[in-house]
Amino acid sequence: MSFGFFRNLTKPTPPPLEERQHTVAGRTLPLRIVESDRTRRLTLRIDAGGQGLRITVPLGLRRGEVEKFLHRHQGWLEQRLAKVPERPQVRPGIKLPLYGVPHVIVHESAKRGTVLVGAGEDGPTLVVYGERVHLPRRLADFLKREAKREIEVLVEKHSSKVGRKAKAVRFKDTSSRWGSCTSDGNLSFSWRIMMAPRPVINYLVAHEVAHLKEMNHGPKFWKLCEELCPDTERCKAWLKKNGSALQAIQF
């Protein structure tokens, strides 16, 4: 009886039936096939950011049925993945936007770790010093410092206009939203916004500061937002169109 008791409390997660690569829409993604005693039909899921695929199948289902199911839904996968931006890995040689301007990432191992903005033959550069393995983290830390320096000034500027002071300003790496404002006046921003053009950064700050006075998205809120940032509509449209690409970059 004791065995049954502990088995119910700590029921192990069954290992996947199979793990392999699957090519769809020009991408080769990891595919996991998992059995479940809680499902009676096959289900297909795309992992967050389009980083992998998962098929959940009933216990004992024949492998051939899985292949047929995957083949039938190939078109659905292609349509969905076409809407998910590629997730480029931060590395030397690629271009990373800073204030909306593409900068070539250059790695220099000779000096101790830091990041400097420079200019090269192909345009602006972000020179990252130190060991190669730390390059993504150093670039992320650089963007966090830029966010703190730039956004805190904008928060002060806009909050003075609305007559409300922010209780705190925090910086996070969020995938679902660019900023937030709590009822007690805490503002949060994604440091990734530093990759957007300056007018878009200003719009985001104005948007969240406006919430210090109007905790909603009603007409009064948008009127206040327009007062703080006359370019609200254009910046909002830019973020809607390009924001997911910035969120997709892997640091």
> What pLDDT, in 10s, does the model give residues 31-45?
989 998 888 899 998
Residue 125: pLDDT above 70? yes
Distance CA 209, CA 205 (A): 6
The pair of three-digit structure tokens given for residue 143, joined into one six-digit string: 């963007």
Residue 6: pLDDT above 70? no
Distance CA 226, CA 87 (A): 33
Q: Cβ atoms within 10 A of the Cβ of 50, count?
A: 21
The model's pLDDT over 134-187, given as tens digits with 9 standing for 90+, comes to 999 999 999 999 999 999 999 999 999 999 999 999 999 986 689 999 999 999
Query: What is the arrangement of strands in the sheet containing 186-190, beginning at the earlier edge strand?
Result: 168-172, 186-190, 179-181
Residue 95: pLDDT above 90? yes
Q: Can you name the residues that pair with 218 across neighbouring β-strands?
A: none
Which fold does the domain 95-248 belong to in CATH? Zincin-like (3.30.2010)
Q: Can you name the residues that pair with 198 across neighbouring β-strands?
A: none
Quick one: pLDDT at residue 88? 78
Quick one: pLDDT at residue 112? 78
What's at 52, amino acid-wise?
G
Note the pTM of the prediction, 2 decimals: 0.69
The alpha carbon of residue 108 and the mean position of all alpha carbons in its chain are separated, in whole angstroms, by 27
Residue 213: pLDDT above 80? yes
SS3 for 101? strand
Residues of each domain in the chain carrying CATH 3.30.2010.10 = 95-248
Mean pLDDT of 83-97: 83
Distance CA 245, CA 86 (A): 8
Q: How confident is the model at residue 217 (pLDDT cuts 50, 70, 90)?
A: very high
Quick one: pLDDT at residue 16? 64
Mean pLDDT of 94-114: 91
Residue 205: pLDDT above 60? yes
Quick one: pLDDT at residue 10? 36
Share of the chain above pLDDT 90, in %: 63
The model's pLDDT over 219-232, given as tens digits with 9 standing for 90+, comes to 999 999 999 999 99
Cα torsion for 240, 196, 86, 180, to the nearest 10°? -60
Return all residues near 135 (Cβ < 8 A) that are at least 6 apart: 90, 91, 92, 105, 107, 128
Share of the chain above pLDDT 70, in %: 90
